[in-house]
Every structure is written in C-alpha cells, then in structure tokens.
Amino acid sequence: MSDIIYTKVDEAPELASASFLPIIQKFAAAAGVSVGTKDISLAGRILATFPEHLKEDQRQSDDLAELGKLVKTPDANVIKLPNISASVPQLVAAIKELQSQGFALPDYPETPETDAEKEVRSKYDGLKGSAVNPVLREGNSDRRAAKAVKSFAQNNPHRMGEWKSDSKTRVAAMSGGDFFSNEVSATLAKETGAKIVLETANGETVLKDGLSYPAGTVVDATFMSGKALDAFLAEEIEKTKAEGTLFSLHMKATMMKVSDPIIFGHAVKAFLAPVFEKHGETMADLGVNPNSGLGDLMGRVEGNAAIVADIEACIASRPPMYMVDSDKGITNLHVPSDVIIDASMPALIRAGGKGWGPNGSESDTNCVIPDNSYAPVYDESIKFFKENGKLNPATAGTVQNVGLMAQKAEEYGSHPTTFEIAEAGTVKMILDDGTVLHSHVVEAGDIWRSASARKAPIEDWVNLAISRQKAEGCNAIFWLDADRDHDAELIAYVKPILEAQGVADKFQIMAPREATRASLEIITRGENSIAITGNVLRDYLTDLFPILELATSAKMLSIVKLMNGGGLFETGAGGSAPKHVQQLMEENHLRWDSLGEFCALGESLTFLADAKGNEKARVLGNAVDAATQGILDNGRSPSRKVKEHDNRDSHYWFARYWAEALATQGDDAELSAHFTPIAAALAASETAILSELAEAQGPAVDLGGYFHGDEAKTAAVMRPSKTLNAIIG
C-alpha cells in the first residue's frame, strides 16, 4: 500500500488531478513518499459492482471496499476529493455512457419485476447518494479555514449582495407532520439486535431485520406525513404567487438518497398538480417518475402534444421558479441533484436573498425547506441579515466546525432504514427481547426512517470538541436542541464529559436557531466560534459560513482524525463541479480552485511525518504551506474567464513556489540540493510554460466521456505544456 492514497473521483476535481497529481508524485518521491490512487468515482464504483457483466480486461477492483478496510487501521493516510453523490438521473446517465463505451452493464430497472431485475436494482441503489462518505468516515470532522486562507479573504474581501430590511425572501417549513415533529429517540442500555415491521389490517410485513446496535447507541425513529407534505407544498405555491417571489425547493437528494428524492417528487407533482390529475395514467404508462424531476418528465412526454401544452399552461399559471440555468430553461425542479441545500441556500444568502428567475433577472425567493429539523438555521440567518445588513468579509471572524459523523452517524446513515409506506398501519422497531423501542401510526405515502449514532463516535466527538476549543481558546457552542428527542439524548452524553474534564464553563449548548444568531453576532464582531454539531449540520454549516466568509467552501481545511489512529484529509465541496466541466469542454478553461487540495496535502504530509517518523515528509509539508501562501499572496488562483489563468496555471505556480521553498529551506540539505535545479528550471521556463498553457485555451475539447473519461485524452487536455511536463516528468 502506498504511503498516501489520493482518491480518483469525478468531474472538476478529477480533471484537476490529471494536472496536479503528477506534480505531487514527483515531489513526494524525493522524500521517499509513495502516492497511489484508489478509484471511488461513480463510474469506477459501477464497474466494480458488476464484474460478471464485463470482459476480463474491463473488470475493476472494489477500491471503495479496500479503502473502507484501510480507514479502520492506524496506517490510513487518505486524501479524499469530492465525489459524485449520485441521484437517479446521474446514475442512469453514467450507466448509459459506460454502455456506449462497450461495457455490457445492465440497464437501471426503474420498475423491477423479476428477481433478477430486483437484484440489479438493489446493487445500483447501493451506489446512489452518500455511498462513499459513510464507508470512509471512520472518524469525526474538524473543518476550518486555514489561517492563510482566512487572512487572504479578509485582505481581499469578496463581493456580497445587499440585504434590505423589506426583502420578501423567507424560509418556509412545515409546522407539523414532518420528521422534526414526529421524532422519538432512545439510548440503548445493552447490545441488541432489532427489526422494523409494518403492522396493518392485512398482517405484518418485515421492513428490515438483522439490525444490530452496540450498547450506548442512540436510536431515532420518525416519519413525514405525505398528506401533510402535499398540503404544505400546495399552500406555499399559492403563497409564493401572491407574494410575487420565486418558488424554490432546497433539498439534499444526493446524501439523503431515499427520503429526499421522494419529497422532491411530491414537489414536482404539487407544482404540476392539474397535469397529474388529468394525465396521470398516461404519464405513468410513459414511465414518468416525478422523483426523477421535471427534466426527465419532459423527456418522456415530449411526443404528447396535449400533455406538453398542459404542462406549459400550468407552469405559466404558477409562480416563477428559481432557476439553475435561466439561459437554458433549467428550473429548480428539473433534476433532484441540481439544487443542493448546503450550497444553494448559502449562495442565495450571500447574494442578498436573491435568486435567478426564468427571465434571467434576480428576485426575492420563497425558500421551501419542508422538514423543520434544520430549516431554522437558514430562517434565522435571513432574519439576521434583514436586520443587520450583509456580512463584511474584511472584518468577519470565522466559524469552525467539529462534526459528529463517524460510523454512519445520524440521518446520513439512515438509508437502509428509510421506507415509503405502502399501506396504512403501525411501524414498530422491535428489539430482540421483544421490547417495542419506537412506534408510529402511519398512512400510505408517508416516509418513515430510523437513524442511529454510536457511543464511541459520540464520545470521540465531544473529546475532539474539547481539544479544538483548548487549541483555539474561542467561543464554542454545541448546536443541540434540548426539546428535540435525539439532541436530548446527545446532551445526556455531552454534559457529563464536559463536567468530568472540568471544562463545562468553556461551552454553551443552544438550539440551532439560537446558535445561528449567536454565531453570526460573534463573527460580525470579528471574533471566532466553534460550531459543534451533528452530521447534517456539519454538512450545512461548513458551506454556509465559508461561503459567507470566503466566497467558497472549497477552500476549507477538512481533517478527519480516524478513530483507530489514521488520517483522512478532505478537500472541500464539489457542488459547482458540473459547471466547471461544462466550461472546460466548451472553452478548455478549468476554473476549479485546487486550494482545498493544497491544504489537504500539507496536512497529509505532516501527519505522515508524525506517524512514520519521516522528517523529509515534514519538510515537504512545511513547504506546501509556503507554496499555498505564495498562491494566495500573488493572486495565482484560477480566474473564471477563458484566456485568463486557470487551474493548470495555478498548478504551475504551486509547483514553482513549492520547489523554491524546498530549495531554500535549511532543515534538509539533501532535499534542498534536489529541488534547487527544479526550482531554477521552473523559474527560467515561466514564459514558455505560461504561453503553452494560454495557447491551449479556447477550443472545445474531447475528454472521451463525462463520467468515465479517456485517461490519455484527459491528460493531454490537462497537461498541455510540454515544457512543464519535461521538468515534472
């Protein structure tokens, strides 16, 4: 196994790797450090899942499973780039692309009937949504802006939209019948197995058996009423039209791969309610599944003039919709994975509460977030900025995050125990000794789910928070609501640990709404805070605050201290990756910023030095920090526009600054001697290299595929400078 594993992923981060990874491997080799790769891309995972359908030379190892074993060992040192958390439309598109490349994969069975089809569907469904992160995250999360990044953002503040006190932008959430209001939670006194059953007038159906929980596990159960959801959506559509704002739905249909696509489908049906009432049977015959979005629906009814005309008339009668791409007519409801709440809501808040409408102009927006578990965070943020005006990035403090996520903690681990209820009855979670732990009376169409958080990760999370607060010496808040069942169970863990370590006075415990306002007040004063949160809020806040503070979440330092001693170093968010790929293919310009990769690399090398006693790796890591500072100080980050510096230019400058730092450092004479000629060559060749990189931009390029590109074609696109390639090798 290599000393460091650099993950092969998808979209813009993977394109950037084609340029950056050879530089890493060249420099690391000088310190005796090997850097290998493991494929966790969507295409790679699809191929690894169906070896029996492939030729011998097409088969691929299950790299995710191998990494899943590695992260449970002290030897793990993994740099994880953002990967696609696939929605069904993305999964189907990837399958079709691979089939077109000669891989004899089975189709995705949308309505499986035979046992063989059900088995194929089950395998494909295992690849949807957050299939990667729960496997690799065997530790809790420490996310923060690196000091150099935060300093640069303060000295070079990004543009913020103006907030007005009379803005009509608001958040709409259900007042009852949602996951929040129906949640029950309990901490298990002993290790036990469990099953989930649905009892109806027609008998009992086992929804899930073979569950196993260690003692001390917090186990939740809840459901969302389908009828309450439909009534809420219908009401909000009418309210939005009356208010004259944009209608927008903000979900996480990628990570919450079972529940949220269903909720998304309810929204599509609600928005097109008259069409479904009139043409429901015909559309069902055409294979329409509202969970797949308006885009898929339009493709399936394209040949039916009557349905198309009624859809157009219905949309015209509805409030204007928040747009993903107004130029192309792609709406908020087109594809479930196009609007991801943790990216879409911060972007809207940063823009002064404005969203893009179908006419190509900005407008106030009704932000529909059906479940009330975390909607208050965004609601309170909007209220705060209406009262106080926009945040000033030049003077703002920072909100760091310590997140509970190890071992599939909380909602993001709920996929195998989430069900759309087929028949009215009672869902029960029954322990091995016959105890009914949780019970809910449900109706057909309700969405029921259970989630859990284990004792060891919870205790590790609290101790990580104590360690981070001690290191930073700043305000620290546990974002826990004592009136929410799950949070109350966590508080029962948190308080004794804080008291036993004598640090209870260093921390506050606040419900998310109150914690949001307190944190915004703190950073507005120029001070810092640590948000100590559960798994979903970790995801949401490590986009919300960085986007407000830094303009992007891709530049965050993300360290996962694995519970068995290894290290996982994540490189930031990838939410804008699809647009970056589109621009590269059309204009050969990649605006992806690899700053997250730079930060993760430095941390990984330093961790390796500590773990293996490799002092040369430490020198490399220190030089990475100097190179990152050089990128920021000299404005070498990518530009958004073609023919200006892009991702590849930033990699040249990073390599040059890295080599110069290694050549001039005094801790290791051998490394200094090795990198002195490399630094000199990179400096002397500046004009030639930048010219070759610039000349490559402009024309459209062929990558050989979107999800599964051709490696040779991608390398040719991403390494167009012969001069730089000759130096790097």
Single-letter residue type at 339: V
Arithmetic mean of pLDDT, 382-387? 98
Q: In 3-state terms, what secondary structure has residue 514?
A: helix
d(CA 353, CA 170): 8
Length of the chain in terms of residues written: 729
Interacting residues of 12 by C-beta distance below 8 A, sequence separation 6+: 574, 576, 577, 578, 580, 581, 584, 590, 592
Interacting residues of 345 by C-beta distance below 8 A, sequence separation 6+: 250, 367, 369, 378, 540, 544
- pTM, 2 dp: 0.85
- pLDDT of residue 673 exceeding 70, the answer is yes
- pLDDT of residue 616 exceeding 80, the answer is yes
Mean residue pLDDT across the chain = 95
Arithmetic mean of pLDDT, 581-605? 94
> How large is the C-alpha radius of gyration of the chain?
26
d(CA 576, CA 558): 18
Arithmetic mean of pLDDT, 273-300? 95
**Which pLDDT does position 575 carry in this prediction?**
53
DSSP 8-state symbol, 199: E
E-strand stretches of 414-459: 418-420, 425-431, 436-442, 447-453
Which ranges in 171-272 belong to alpha helices (H)?
179-182, 226-243, 259-271
Dmax over CA atoms of the chain, in Å, equals 81
In degrees, rounded to 5, the angle at the alpha carbon of residue 36 between the alpha carbons of residues 30 and 38 is 165
Interacting residues of 569 by C-beta distance below 8 A, sequence separation 6+: 77, 78, 79, 80, 558, 559, 560, 600, 601, 603, 604, 607
pLDDT band at 714 (very low <50, low <70, confident <90, very high): very high
User: Going by DSSP bridges, is the β-strand pair 330-331/418-420 parallel, antiparallel, or unpaired?
Assistant: unpaired
**Which pLDDT does position 440 carry in this prediction?**
98
Query: CA of 518: how far to CAs of 386, 393, 399, 514, 550, in Å?
Result: 16, 17, 11, 6, 20
For 536-559, write each residue's pLDDT tens digit: 999 999 999 999 999 988 778 889
d(CA 614, CA 621): 11
b or e along 519-556 (b: 16 or more beta carbons within 10 Å of the residue's beta carbon)?
Answer: bbebbbeeebbbbbbbbbbbbbbbbbbbbbbbbbbbbb
**Which pLDDT does position 557 carry in this prediction?**
85
Domain layout of the chain by residue ranges: 170-177+225-392
d(CA 370, CA 225): 11
Residue 551 φ/ψ region, left for φ over 0, alpha for ψ in the -120 to 50 degree band, beta for the rest: left
Confirm if 302 and 219 have CB atoms less than 8 A apart.
Answer: no
In degrees, rounded to 5, the angle at the alpha carbon of residue 234 between the alpha carbons of residues 232 and 235 is 65
pLDDT band at 576 (very low <50, low <70, confident <90, very high): low
d(CA 285, CA 304): 12
The percent helix, strand, coil of the chain (3-state, each to 5) is 50, 20, 35
DSSP 8-state symbol, 251: B
Give the DSSP H or E segment for 297: helix 294-300
Arithmetic mean of pLDDT, 471-500? 97
C-beta neighbour count of 473 within 10 angstroms: 9
For 119-151, write each residue's pLDDT tens digit: 999 999 999 877 888 889 899 999 999 888 898
Confirm if 272 and 460 have CB atoms less than 8 A apart.
Answer: no
d(CA 233, CA 214): 39
Query: CA of 61: how far to CAs of 46, 65, 67, in Å?
Result: 11, 9, 11
- pLDDT of residue 182 exceeding 80, the answer is yes
**Would you state the torsion angle of the CA atoms of residues 409, 413, 417, 421, taken in this order, to the nearest 10 degrees?**
110
Q: Distance from CA of residue 20 to its chain's centroid?
A: 22
**Which pLDDT does position 574 carry in this prediction?**
54
Q: Give the residue among 266, 277, 283 at the shortest CA–CA distance from 445.
A: 266
Single-letter residue type at 147: K
d(CA 403, CA 409): 10
**Would you state the torsion angle of the CA atoms of residues 53, 54, 55, 61, taken in this order, to the nearest 10 degrees?**
-130
d(CA 107, CA 95): 7
For 494-507, write each residue's pLDDT tens digit: 999 999 999 999 99
Single-letter residue type at 610: D
In degrees, rounded to 5, the angle at the alpha carbon of residue 322 between the alpha carbons of residues 320 and 327 is 95
For 240-258, write each residue's pLDDT tens digit: 999 999 999 999 988 888 9
Q: In 3-state terms, what secondary structure has residue 214?
A: coil
Confirm if 649 and 637 have CB atoms less than 8 A apart.
Answer: no
Confirm if 638 and 53 have CB atoms less than 8 A apart.
Answer: no
For 183-235, write each residue's pLDDT tens digit: 999 999 999 999 999 999 999 999 999 999 999 999 999 999 999 999 999 99
For 337-381, write each residue's pLDDT tens digit: 888 899 899 999 999 999 999 999 999 999 999 999 999 999 999
555 phi and psi angles, rounded to 5 deg: -100, 10
Arithmetic mean of pLDDT, 592-616? 94
